[in-house]
Amino acid sequence: MKEKIFMIDLHHGDCISKMKSLTDKSVDLIVTDPPYLMDFQSGFRTATPQFDKIAGDLDGHDLIKQYFFECERILKDDTHIYSFCSWHHINFFKEQFEKYFTLSNILVWNKPGGGMGDLEGSYQPSHEFVLFGHKGRRHLTGKRTPDVIRHCRVTPSAMLHPTEKPVTLIEEFILASSKKGDIVFDGFMGAGSHGMAAVRNERGFIGCELHDTYFKIAEERIETASCTLENFFQ
């Protein structure tokens, strides 16, 4: 029988309070999707249920400042961090990120199909940015890939959260920057894609979500992924 080597710790509430309870240098990798500070609302209202607004998405500048500070404290030396962001406030995110981490790349997630946006006054949005950084120095695992990553988004009919990221996209980052048994952290886990990606690849996961409905969704999805993997170990 194979041995299960990962842990799961899900926190329903404010991410900063949870992070403050973690010891220094206790996390092996951070892959995170914080609020974009743009009062985001999904444009796919006819295809999906009405999503609630994201807490802190418009006025969360102080939250982001404190968040990156705590990220640096809990992250071990010689590790990686990935943080999604939008072009709207990339200068602010980059400034806060570089206070604590060495920015190695700004990855571009090219998502075919894109979003709706301004149908007449602007180009169709079809990308998001990912700040990729080091705390110390760590090599990527596996084949070196381009910094423009073409990967389909979650289809509107399947979305469980307005800014949901594909599990398989998150898996690419986790596999490149961690090993089995490592602990992955995300303070804004939404519908739980980051946790699913970690657990499916035999990593531990610590995640936080403030919203009641999204926390329940994330908890169920991560538990399902965990049970599936546990059946493999039996």
Q: Output the six-digit token pair for 156.
A: 């509107």
* Residue 119, pLDDT score: 57
Q: Pick the residue with more confidence: 173 or 3?
A: 173
pLDDT at 29 exceeding the cut of 90? yes
Side chain identity at residue 88, one-letter code: H
For all residues of the chain together, what is the average pLDDT? 86
The helix/strand/coil state of 4 is: coil
Q: Count of residues for the chain?
A: 234
- Range 175-184 average pLDDT: 97
Out of 13-22, 107-116, 221-230, the most confident range is: 13-22
* Residue 37, pLDDT score: 82
- Range 10-17 average pLDDT: 96
* Residue 142, pLDDT score: 86
* Residue 97, pLDDT score: 98
Domains annotated on the chain, with CATH: 8-233 (3.40.50.150)
* Residue 54, pLDDT score: 52
Place of tokens 């994330």: 218
Q: Output the six-digit token pair for 7.
A: 């842990």
The per-type count for the chain, helices as H runs and strands as E runs, is 6, 8
- Range 22-30 average pLDDT: 98
- Range 33-51 average pLDDT: 60
In angstroms, the CA 17 to CA 87 distance is: 28
In this structure, are residues 200 and 167 in contact, taking their beta carbons and an 8 Å threshold?
Answer: yes
Q: Output the six-digit token pair for 83.
A: 């943080």
In angstroms, the CA 35 to CA 43 distance is: 17
pLDDT at 55 exceeding the cut of 60? no
Q: Output the six-digit token pair for 59.
A: 């006025």
Q: What are the CA-CA distances from residue 54 to residues 59, 163, 200, 213 (Å)?
A: 11, 9, 27, 12
pLDDT at 27 exceeding the cut of 70? yes
State the pLDDT confidence band at 223, using cuts at 50, 70 and 90.
very high
* Residue 51, pLDDT score: 52
